[in-house]
Chains A and B, each alone.
Chain A
Amino acid sequence: MKDDLIFIAQRWDIEFKHAAGETASTFFKAIMQRREILGRLCPKCKRVLLPPRSFCERCFVETSEWVKVGGEGKIQSFTIVYEKFEGLPPPPYAIAYVLLDGASTAMVNFVKGLDLNNLDQAIKKIKIGAKVKVAFKRKREGRITDFWYELV
């Protein structure tokens, strides 16, 4: 048999209801209700962890308190996506890991408000070390996509 083969098309279409838990729920509610980004402080290594977690995996202790981090930060890494990937937004879009003022770890999200159609122009602005600010959606739903970064 050469090429008259049979393929059986199937889908995995399963709905999940993932529990965010208390820590992530508090983080998402602060974004939704007060436009605030909250990190968790590790009492041992003193790192402010973003995204927030209830424990520090390095020190293996529970984190102790919420810390409000700044609304600005610096890009640590970025990519501009030009390919249409299944499951991902239509291109072009940019994402970056940003170290927000007062946080110890970088958090990834979209970088918006920048023309990405001309790459050469775009990478003059979006680069490692570039300053960004957090911008919030008007109608927030308690999701990570309630906010994004914009170049300052």
Chain B
Amino acid sequence: MKVAIIGVGQTSYGNKKHQSIDELVFEATKKALDDSGLEREEIESVVTAGSDALDGRGISNMVIAGGSGAYLKDEVKVADGGIYGLILGYLRVASGVFDNSLIVSWTKSSEVSTDLVSNLSFEPLYLRSCGLNSITSLALQTSTYIGRADVKDEDAAKVVLKNRENGLKNPLSHPLQKPSIKEINSSRFVSYPLRESYLPPESDGACALVIASKKRAKSLKKNCAWILGLGWVIDEYYAGDLIVETRHGVSLPLLKRSSEMAYKMAGVENPISEIDVAEVSDVTPYHEMMIYEALGFCRDREGKVLIRDGTTKMGGGLPVNPSGGILSSNPIFTSSLVRVAEGALQVMRKAGKRQVKNAKVALAQGFTGMSTQGSCVVILGS
């Protein structure tokens, strides 16, 4: 059964100290409902996606149940990145059991040391005591990529500049200054080869979507974003299992697999010509280039070419991250759902100043796990 995104709601991203966590969820949910044209009473199911450890609250879906509109409804939580909420919501509606679903994800980075939470997220026997957190894990992954793909500092800086320039046109973006290439490339190394300027900000924020069956979506007579394809797959837990193979093979092989699943479902044969806009998880600029390769936008080790020739800039052949991406706003657990929200806004033609002209097909991509072990791809159509 076809399913469409009929409503998108986002808070702005940044330090939201004026709102408690449930107020943040309420704001995004209310906006998504208003956008969808449905009343809370008409919502049949709710999927929430948050991290108890980041929230500092156990069973945190109970805390935010009110704000998510779930009162007296069928609510279920995924303890995983927001994009998994969309997948579960999609499956619930596609099954025919529910006519519609509301999906909401939230993160309040400003309330906690996210570095400590990410270190504590590692398994305690073999990994947690080895200097690992999300940033050092991404640095390890990046070192392998630089080694095999001959990517330069300037390429990384161009990705940062592209996304941060895009972010300046996004009224919801975390408030940041536009850096110069020189500033980016002279920024200190936090975890070599990652510089401070290569890392996303830490943002608070919430994002909600309303999805509905074909019948309901058609009855609303409005622009919606049809979910044409989905793919998701999980990698081996120990990053060292795959590293030997990725050193000599493709970057992010599991993302490649999930994109193939989504492309098959959506009937996409030639991604670079059939996809008009992509919102991907640029957790570092190097990851954005790896993602190009895994998604088949270019050949292996040629992600840098799409940055050098401007293909993925606004106005290029396939703009990537017109919203500014994660490098501009990073509500950690929610960032992957924001990719879907932004992709949906593009094909609904509601992306304002960040709108890609004639966007008919959008791709949204999310990660979960410290070394991007979980990969999701969603294809949306107008």
Q: Do A and B bind each other?
A: yes
CB pair B192–A80 under 8 Å, yes or no, is yes
Name B120-154 residues within 8 Å CB distance of A. Answer: 120, 124-127, 129-133, 135-136, 139-141, 143-144, 147
CB pair B18–A76 under 8 Å, yes or no, is no
Name B148-199 residues within 8 Å CB distance of A. Answer: 188-194
CB pair B192–A105 under 8 Å, yes or no, is no
Bound state CA distance, A81 and B139, in angstroms? 9
User: Residue of A at shortest CB range from B237?
Assistant: A57
Q: In the assembled complex, how far is the CB of residue B135 from the closest CB belonging to chain A, in whole angstroms?
A: 7
A60 touches B (CB below 8 Å): no
Q: Which of B70-78, B111-119, B260-268 contacts A (4 or more CB under 8 A)?
A: B111-119
Given A51-B126, A106-B243, A106-B244, residue A78 in contact with residue B140 (CB < 8 A): yes
The residues of B with any CB-CB pair to A shorter than 8 Å are 17-18, 53, 56, 113, 115-116, 119-120, 124-127, 129-133, 135-136, 139-141, 143-144, 147, 188-194, 236-241, 243-244, 247
A86 touches B (CB below 8 Å): yes
Bound state CA distance, A106 and B115, in angstroms? 24
Bound state CA distance, A145 and B193, in angstroms? 24
Q: Which residues of B contact A1 (CB under 8 A)?
A: 18
Majority SS at the chain B contact face: mixed
Q: In the assembled complex, how far is the CB of residue A87 from the closest CB belonging to chain B, in whole angstroms?
A: 4
Bound state CA distance, A48 and B359, in angstroms? 49
Count residues on chain A whose CB falls below 8 Å from chain B CBs: 46
Bound state CA distance, A20 and B116, in angstroms? 22
Say which residue of A57, A93, A143, A145 sits within 8 Å of B236 (CB atoms). A57
CB pair B191–A87 under 8 Å, yes or no, is no
User: Residue of A at shortest CB range from B124?
Assistant: A18
CB pair B17–A5 under 8 Å, yes or no, is yes
Given A77-B144, A81-B191, A105-B244, residue A12 in contact with residue B131 (CB < 8 A): no
CB pair A89–B243 under 8 Å, yes or no, is no
CB pair B143–A128 under 8 Å, yes or no, is yes
